[in-house]
Amino acid sequence: MIYTVTLNPCIDWHAAGPVTPGTVHRFAEGFLAPGGKGVNVSLLLRDLGVENIALGFAAGFTGREIVRLLEEAGCTAEFIFLRQGFSRINLNITEPSGSETAFNGAGPAVAPDEAERLLDRVSALVPGDQLVLAGSVPPSLPRDIYARLLDRVPAGVNTVVDTAGAPLRAAVQRHPFLVKPNLQELEELFQAQITGLEGVCQCAQALQEEGARNIIVSMGARGALLLTEEGKRFFCRAPRGAAVSTVGAGDSLVAGFLYGSRLHGTLEGGLRWGVAAGAATAFTRGIAGKEQVFAALRETGNVHPV
């Protein structure tokens, strides 16, 4: 079974229109969707026919709506409900120019005993399971919460980490099976401007030296780079297309990678499906569906060593 963990899920309100500071805005169109990186992974996996269970924290009326929307989409949600607060609401606005403006809430506080319940839940996983830890860490939780979760995971469970900054740096020291920073997150981690594919490889290798086993670096419209624990390097070019929104594209890459690696039995096969899934979501509003991913795959470049 695949499990996803979203520590700070949300309701995403997607709207389109110009943003002018200091004025009242009225949007003629928009839609609501459950959000958060792990939630997005669960949504796409489910649409691809892969059963999974979404774990994390939820609170208040918005938390109940997140669970309802997930179940409406056919996902299994086993969130821990917090005693206080409410799950955050994020507003994502796509302007006519294509630029995006986001207003993201902080989320509810998680008490120590509530955090312990999640730690206990992942300790009950069994060999052969896969665990995806994805997204931001609420201010009430320690920066190394992902590392603590990885400490509780039984041997034989493959783990995927998709986060940034201090939580990522702490997590890689627990030797996760896969980490997936994007190019900007990699630059922030190493306080350097990365130029060229070789520069990306060098920083990714440095992250491997800190403990990550396999690394995918998502590079937006260019594609993605894979470094394996055997020292192999692969690149896959993204399909060309008009980006509508980048929200959820990296999460879709993770979901596509898990689907493709199961389908082909190789990390390289997972990489191509991941790039296709990420692009499919970038080309649409919201998280892409199965048919959109399949269409993007036909235009995605082949995986080749670099």
d(CA 299, CA 126): 37
- Give φ, ψ of 286 to 5 degrees: 90, -170
Helix (H) or strand (E) holding 53: strand 52-58
CA 19, 24, 28, 34 torsion: positive or negative? positive
Catalytic residue among 12, 47, 144, 251: 251
Strand order, beta sheet including 10-16:
30-35, 10-16, 88-94, 100-103
Q: 233: which strand partners?
A: 227
In the residue annotation, 120 being an active-site residue is answered as no
CA 187, 54, 247, 140 torsion: positive or negative? negative
By the 8 A CB rule, do 159 and 131 touch?
Answer: yes
Active centre residues (catalytic): 251
